Chain A
Amino acid sequence: MKNVETILSEREKILGRIREALKVSAPPPGSHDETSAHSTTESPASHAREWLPSVGESSAEQFALFTKNAADLKADFQLLASRAELPAALKKIANDEKWSRFASHGGELSNFASASLGLPVLETDKGYDVQEMEKCDAGITECDALIAQTGGVVVTTRSAGGRALSVLPPHHIVIARREQLVADLPAAFALLQQKYAANYPSMISFITGPSRTGDIERILVLGAHGPKKLTIFCF
């Protein structure tokens, strides 16, 4: 019981110090400046869309932007004409990289992808052995969205087979539908909120390119700890 009391009192002590400190108000930023960016009734960041990098109007423009951004990030983006093209494209990668096994999760698109490979597969859905996943050559997942503005994808524990599947195997393959492309970051957050607000997955991850580091002389190296390669198939 003593432990619980200390925790409670530390919390109250810190909150007490905060409340005491906030009795003196601090001037809002730019309050001397007449051109404040927003009205007082809405959140300051609610116009973020107008300030972030522009994304174009049409879906074609946004696909072109996603393609360019993904290439800048050194991700491989393959826009397929139809789902029927996926098995061949996927097999090509598996052959080139000499996959012997891969990991995936249950889902309409990921099941379709897995079935087309004909290789041993580790399914994560009902729990899995981490050492086994570590031996996999790739992780195949679905996603929640592609973001034109950043060239990245959004995955969650629910859409992408847990926390490790999209980051432990050395090659992460994302399978997405064309209608999953959203224009920008505000749209991606709105989508997540609309989809999950009642019960969020315990992890939501915005993945923008394959894992990287610049910690040695600021020189870019791919595959620091996460996947060395990120391939995004979309149809």
Chain B
Amino acid sequence: MSFVSEFKTRASEKSRDLRHRSVIRTALRSYEVVRDKRKAAFQSWESARQAAAETKWEAINHLDEHLVALTSKLEARGTKVHWASNGVQAREIISQILRDKKARTIIKSKAMTSEEIHLNHALEKEGFTVVESDLGEFIVQLRHEPPYHIVFPSMHLTRGEIKDLFQKELGDAPSDSPEELTMVARRVMRQKYITADVGFTGGNFAIAETGMISITENEGNARLTAALPKTMITLMGIEKVLPRFSDLALFLPMLATAGAGQPMTCYNTMYSGPRQPGECDGPEEWHVILLDNRRTELLADAEQRDSLHCIRCGACLNVCPIFRNVGGHTYGTTYSGPVGAVITPHLRGLQDWKHLSNASSLCGACTEACPVKIDLHHHLLQNRRNASASEPAFFERLAYKIFAFVASRPVLWSFAKKFGRLTQPLQRLVTGGVIDPARQWTKTRDLPPIAPESFKEWWAKRKESQAE
């Protein structure tokens, strides 16, 4: 099955699934309330957005300089920096480190880049044990499914389903109270931080000025992952740079507000090296892997370059009417929602993923929600334009050619109207069915009847009656 037909099948299933709708609606309604309250606490959210957009513009449009500065600062304090052009290279670098360290168990904090390169699957195939420590990621890992949402991985599940899952997979689920279920995960994970050979993290921001990687999280799992194992690996997209340390004073509260309606995420931690002389703990080795994976192709598209400004807050997913109806898994991509629809065609091929840009009402809610002002809904339009320019749809073009031919010839047009009026009652008999010529339209919508009299006919009649 092609990506587009899979998308359509899943979308129509999910949008009819009432349980799914109510779970998502409940989760996102509370999000909107708290986010709006946090936004209102800003003296000027709009000025902050503009400054954040300008800061990311500066970072992305001088990306080479910032990456060079970042790397040399990191290396100066003993961090090993690796560069990976694609997922295969990144996975190979990671496996090599694990083999060198004779590692068996890897504890991971949440990293969408690792989903992007399908890391867990590859490492498990090589015999390594991979443990996701973020609660939501741990839950979807137990279910053998990808995260549902880039910020809230298990948003689609009810507490009852999570209780059953824990009972089945861990043999430990005292009740369906979120508190008790969280404590189950806490108990399971506690020793794993201590005994794991390698800690693996993503990165939210990389500071060029000081050579730091900043990690944002609520649970403390990334803090522990970066504190206890002897070796630490961080995988991060090259677009994550910010020029200055002080830029974080703006970006940390904005990420928290846009992402989860929090004033600040619980832990925002900047790492600038492995354990330094005089420090009592921390990893002996820190490997940072900078991942391209076709981000440079997106960079080359000046029109859509600003989509690399994305800080992965998930705000555009939360407000998107399409996401709310079809859900995260329907997209079949690592990054879903509006930003996923914009960037996936660049990261994974325009023709295979152009349908995501059509799955939009172009309402612009995403653009309005974006804390770094990415022009998301216009980029969806540009993807549609680019897709049809590079591979025009034959039948669509033919249909419009015929329409243009008929519509620009008054005699043909008036004949078509009369013919339509005569034949429409026949179409009614088969409407929505397989032999309906207008099926693509009528299976989900009404086809309005053609007016019994056109304006032109009415006008001619009126003039006639006045002349009398």
Contact = CB atoms under 8 A, between A and B. Distances in A.
Interface of A: 7, 10-11, 13-15, 17-22, 24-26, 28-30, 36-38, 43-48, 50-54, 69, 72, 105, 124-128, 130-131, 134, 150-152, 157-158, 161-164, 167-168, 184-186, 188-190, 192-193, 197, 200-219, 221, 223-227
Give the most central of A127, A164, A216: most B CB within 10 Å: A216
19 contacts: A15-B64, A21-B300, A26-B57, A37-B51, A46-B246, A51-B44, A157-B280, A162-B227, A163-B227, A201-B272, A202-B271, A202-B275, A206-B264, A212-B219, A215-B153, A215-B182, A216-B162, A216-B182, A219-B159
B381 interface: no
A48 B48 contact: yes
Contacts of A188: 249
Given A43-B244, A45-B51, A151-B263, 4 more contacts: A150-B253, A203-B226, A208-B264, A226-B224
Contacts of A192: 245
Interface string B112-156: 000000000000000000000111100100000000000011110
B108 interface: no
User: What 8 pairs between A and B have smallest CB-CB spacing?
Assistant: A226-B220, A224-B219, A163-B227, A44-B54, A215-B136, A21-B300, A17-B296, A29-B53
Contacts of B186: 223-225
Given A21-B300, A205-B268, A219-B178, A214 B249 contact: no
A158 B276 CA distance: 10
A188 B185 CA distance: 34
A184 B48 CA distance: 15
B319 interface: no
A190 B249 CA distance: 10
Judged by DSSP, the binding face of B is helix
Contact of B152 (A11, A193, A218): A218
A219 B155 CA distance: 11
Contacts of B296: 14, 17-18, 21
B178 A45 contact: no
A125 to B, nearest CB: 6
A200 B223 contact: no
Contact of B218 (A30, A105, A211): A211
B266 A38 contact: no
Contacts of A50: 43-44, 47
B246 A128 contact: no
Given A10-B83, A224-B135, A215 B51 contact: no
Contact of A226 (B185, B223, B245, B300): B223
A158 to B, nearest CB: 8
A224 B302 contact: no
Contacts of B260: 214
A198 B26 CA distance: 49
Give the most central of B44, B89, B157, B220: most A CB within 10 Å: B220
Contact of A29 (B50, B63, B276): B50
Interface string B40-73: 0111110110111111011011111001100100
Contact of A186 (B27, B68, B190, B249): B249
A125 B280 CA distance: 6
Interface in B49-103: 50-55, 57-58, 60-64, 67-68, 71, 77, 82-85, 89
Contacts of A205: 223, 267-270
A218 B30 contact: yes
B292 A45 contact: no
Contacts of A162: 227, 279-282
Contact of B64 (A22, A105, A150): A22
Contacts of B244: 43, 45
Given A134-B194, A218-B31, A219-B178, A168 B50 contact: no
Contact of A225 (B30, B189, B282): B189
A207 B253 CA distance: 13
A217 B272 contact: no
A227 B219 CA distance: 9
Contact of A193 (B47, B77, B245): B245
